[in-house]
Amino acid sequence: MEPTNSAETLHLRLNAENFREQLLAHPKKDSRITSVQIEISNEFFLLIPNSYDSPTYRLGFLEKALGEHALVGKEIHSQNISEEGANLVFLVPSDWKDYISAHFPYAKITYTHTLVHCLHRNDQQLNLFIQGNLAFASLYQGNKLQIANVFPFESPIELAFYLQSIRDAFSLNWALFPPILAAGSEEISEAELYQIPYVQS
């Protein structure tokens, strides 16, 4: 996502690689910017059903899923996913929030997570969003969410093996139902070489 802005609202997609560059691309303490919508692209998230989500359980679930030290230096944010009756709970580094608040002191700042781009009920079709070296994925079968995941990868062949492992584990027919690449996603590198068919949403 290229940064976009109107006279008052700024939209940024931030990850570990582009964080400083994205902030420095905008004037510091610009009073015209009254709202900043930040989309976080990272692997620190968990989809928690509303019936289990409470402050006490939330911390335990996050520590169990992400590791006991995952919360150190990070703040918890959530985004309601009403279609799933769940909250997408994700972590934002505290130092990022400090820099963002100092950079945009006049703005109301809201946070969302990239995984939301994948949560579409396309039965039997893998939904993907590629951002840098992260592949966000979701899969519905029988109208039930089976996967809401992220895979950090270092090479196209690693990503290909990951996608093929999902195909095999869930018996997906890519000839009939190829993976769907969400709008705004980067391309799947060397997809033809590794026989990864996909369509754009």
Residues 42-92 have pLDDT tens digits of 999 999 999 999 988 899 999 999 998 999 999 999 999 999 999 999 999
* CATH 3.30.420.260 location in the chain: 120-200
Positions of the chain with pLDDT under 70: 1-7
Rounded to 5°, angle at Cα 39 from 23 and 60: 115
Of 79, 72, 78, 113, the residue nearest 93 (C-alpha):
72
For 39, the enclosing helix (H) or strand (E) is strand 35-40
Amino acid identity of residue 194, one-letter, is Y
Which residues contact residue 84 at a Cβ distance below 8 angstroms, ignoring those fewer than 6 apart? 47, 49, 119, 145
User: Residue 55: what pLDDT?
Assistant: 84
CATH class assigned to 1-116: alpha beta
Place of tokens 């996603």: 185
Q: Does domain 120-200 have CATH number 3.30.420.260?
A: yes
User: Residue 7: what pLDDT?
Assistant: 56
Whole-Å CA distances, 22 to 2, 5, 26, 91, 201: 9, 13, 7, 19, 26
User: Residue 27: what pLDDT?
Assistant: 85
CB 45 within 8 A of CB 90: yes
User: Residue 128: what pLDDT?
Assistant: 97
Longest dimension (CA), the chain: 53
Please tell me the distance from the alpha carbon of residue 112 to that of residue 109, in angstroms, as a whole number: 10
